[in-house]
Structure 1
């Protein structure tokens, strides 16, 4: 099958391109900007476009499927040519659904935890040599790509993102998957540029729940009130399985999970990750993995890339980086690191980088998010605010929003770096939370502060 990707360079898009190439499809693509690691990975398979840009002449009548990425705009020249020729145009999630119509679809949804839960499930399956198709939002140890598609596997595990599908389809991605087995980990208002109210945001999860196949299964975090309400109010004839954070203890920086066989040391930590683990266990059990086999496998799970990822450790110092940026994620991650290292000074640094986090109206959602930090730092770039065409965010607004005594705020990358590198990190835990890089911070240099 001949497929052409419009915006092939994206993290998700290039992985789907690689998966289809591995499946034997004829793949081409275009993009106006391709960065690493997408560039090298596409080049290795001969899929990197010869030059960057949009070329409508590439769009010909013999293309059987156009796959449209979110990075493209509605007036993209290649998209307009494809529409003119009447070609079949798929969004990323639409195409994944087409590839999985005859499989058992397992979809992991939620404002937070979905990448980690999906990664846990895939780790367990990989450990026990159970072959499944998948799409996950992070690079996993032992997996070549973030997307894997076959003709033969019975199950496909999909990370269900609630963000928009494509420039010409403004539905949330996870509305297109129609799961047989679904999970909702938590609901905390996000993507306010798309979902202007919390109620509107919650509605998307109700729609998702009502699209589960009749007789299917919903696994849900009953400790989250919004999730519990969505699950209990759904009249879809499905089986509903609630889960809670399991019992655990922390001893000398090691988390011990209570199991029927006694306390078991695990690599991940924090109440939010233990909750994720409980959800993953129910999914795996409904995919045919019994409880004992799940525990055996999950003991070796080290976490998804950029999700509480340990970047350096020495005798009395440790540093983590985390993708956390929304208020609920920031609070959970900060609390987790403090609980894991209660006798150490916690230096928690947060970059406000996303559209929502840089919105003056949304900032109040961060109240208390850094309360567990001994030293709390917020970094944001005024340039990023301008690029996103948002109203200017001020020091006072940030200080007022977080309600954290002695909060340190930086807008200059060099000044933030100087602060960081002048910190005495003896008997400390350093936590760097961002979906960006603090205006150009080299994380390899940060390792030198710890080692």
Structure 2
């Protein structure tokens, strides 16, 4: 196939481009800006556009497919040319479904945990040399790309994102996959710029389970009451399996999972991650992995990139970075770190970076989310608020929302970095939560301060 990507530089898009290149397809692409690591990875395989921008002349009749990324606008000149020529235009999820429509599709959905659960399943399958096609939202140790496509594998494992498919297809991505096996981890209101009410957001998950094929299997987290409601009312799946957090304990900063074979030390920690593990186990069993095989493999799972990822560790200090940004993720991550190191001071830093988190009304949902932190820091950029055309967020709004007795607020990247440089991190845990980078924080600098 000859495939052209409009907005090839995105995290998901460039991984799909690499996957098709590795499969033997002829791949081209355009973008108006490409950043690392996408830039170097595309360049390595000769897929980096020679010039930034949109060029209608690259869209020709001999293209078999055009894949349209969310970064592009509806009036993109390349998109308009493809429409004019009557070419087949796919959104990212549409293309993945087209590739996998003859395979058994396993879709992991939920407001939180879906990247980790998908990564756990992939790790277990890879450990036991079971090959599947996949798409996951984070880089995983042992895998070159976040997307892998073949013609021979029987399964396609998909992280089921509820965000929109493309500028011209406003359906949530996971509505397009038509799962044979699905998992729902949790439902907590997110993406308020697209789903203005909780009921509207919840409805997307109801539609998701309704798109499952007849005779399918649904695995769901029964500790989430909204998930349970959606799952129990679903009619397409003929088999439903509820899961809950397994028994575990912490000893000397190490987490042990209680299994039929005895207490097993594991690399990950936190109740939310143990809950994710329980869901991953059910899905793996439906994919042909026995329970004892699952435990053997999961004991070596260290986590997905940016999900409680350890940056540096000494005898008295540990630093983690985490993608957490929504209220439910922030409270779960902060609680997990404090539970793992209860005798240490916890300094939890959160960057408000997304549309939802910078919305003055939505901020109220962050009440008590940092309560487990001994010292809490919130960073946000007024420029980001202006770019997103939101109402101004004042420091008083932040204080009122979080209601933490020891809260510091920074809007200047340099002042935030100076704060970090002046801290004594002995007998402390530093947790950096963000889907951004705190205005350009160099994590190597943090490592130098600790070690």
Q: Aligned equivalents of 1:79 and 1:198: distance in 2? A: 33
Q: Is the 8 A contact 1:421 1:449 kept in 2?
A: yes
**Secondary structure of 2:99 counterpart:** helix
**Aligned with 2:250: secondary structure?**
strand
Indicate the residue corresponding to 1:139 in structure 2: 139
Matches of 2:191 and 2:259, distance apart in 1: 37
Does the aligned pair in 2 maintain the 1:212–1:238 contact within 8 Å? no
Structure 1 counterpart SS, 2:230: helix
Q: Give 1:421's aligned residue.
A: 421
Which residue does the alignment assign to 1:79? 79
Matched position secondary structure for 2:63: coil
Matches within 5 A, 1:431-442: 431-442=431-442
> For the residues of structure 2 that align with 1:298 and 1:332, how far apart are their CA atoms?
21
- Secondary structure, in 3 states, of the residue corresponding to 1:158? strand
Secondary structure of the equivalent of 1:246? coil
Q: Which position in structure 2 is the counterpart of 1:63? A: 63
**1:121–1:284 Cα contact (<8 Å) kept:** yes
Hey, what does 2:197 align to over in structure 1? 197
Q: What CA deviation, in whole Å up to 9, does each residue of 1:21-42 have, x standing for no partner? A: 1111111110000111111111
Give per-residue Cα distances to partners, 1:8-33, cap 9 Å, x unaligned.
Answer: 00000000001001111111110000
Q: Please state whether the residue corresponding to 1:4 is helix, strand or coil.
A: strand
List per-residue Cα deviations over 1:203-262 (Å, max 9, x = no partner). 000000111111110000000011011001122242110000000000000000000011
Matched, 1:285 2:274: no
CA deviation string 1:44-75 (max 9, x = no partner) = 11111110100000001111100000000000
Matches within 5 A, 1:217-366: 217-366=217-366
Secondary structure at 1:238 match in 2: strand
Q: How does 1:364-443 map to 2 (within 5 A)?
A: 364-443=364-443
Q: Deviations over 1:397-450 (max 9, x none)?
A: 111111111211111111111111111111000000001111111001111122
- 1:325 Cα shift? 0.3
Query: 1:13-24 alignment to 2 at 5 Å?
Result: 13-24=13-24
Cα distance in 2 for partners of 1:106, 1:318 equals 35
Query: 2:303 is paired with a residue of what secondary structure?
Result: coil
> For structure 1, which runs of at least 5 residues remain unmatched after alignment?
none
Tell whether the 8 Å contact from 2:218 to 2:237 is kept in structure 1 after alignment.
Answer: no
Q: Is the 8 A contact 1:381 1:412 kept in 2?
A: yes
Contact 2:216–2:236 (8 Å) recurs in 1: no
CA RMSD of aligned residues (A): 0.6
CA contact (8 A) 1:320 1:430 kept: yes
Residue 155 of structure 2 corresponds to residue 162 of structure 1: no
Distance 1:449 1:166 in 2: 42
What is the DSSP-based 3-state SS (H/G/I as helix, E as strand, rest coil) of the residue aligned with 2:19? Answer: helix
Can you list the C-alpha shifts for 1:313-353, whole angstroms capped at 9, x where unaligned?
Answer: 00010000000000000000000000000000000000000
Count of aligned pairs between the two proteins: 451
Equivalent in the alignment of 1:444: 444
Contact 2:217 2:237 in 1 (8 A): no
> What are the within-5 Å matches in structure 2 for residues 179-190 of structure 1?
179-190=179-190
- TM-score for both structures, normalised by structure 1: 0.99
C-alpha separation in 2, matches of 1:339 and 1:171: 39
Q: Would you say the 8 A contact 2:212–2:237 is kept in 1?
A: no
Contact 2:164 2:171 in 1 (8 A): yes
Helix, strand or coil at the partner of 2:414: helix
Aligned to 2:425, the other structure's residue is in SS state: coil
Asked whether the 8 Å contact 2:33–2:53 carries over to 1, the reply is yes
CA distance in 2, matches of 1:203, 1:334: 29
Q: How do 1:200-219 and structure 2 match up within 5 A?
A: 200-219=200-219
In 2, distance between residues paired with 1:351 and 1:411? 10
Provide the secondary structure at the position in 2 that maps to 1:214: coil
Of 217-226 and 399-408, more deviation after overlay is shown by 399-408
- CA deviation after TM superposition for structure 1 residue 149, in Å: 0.2
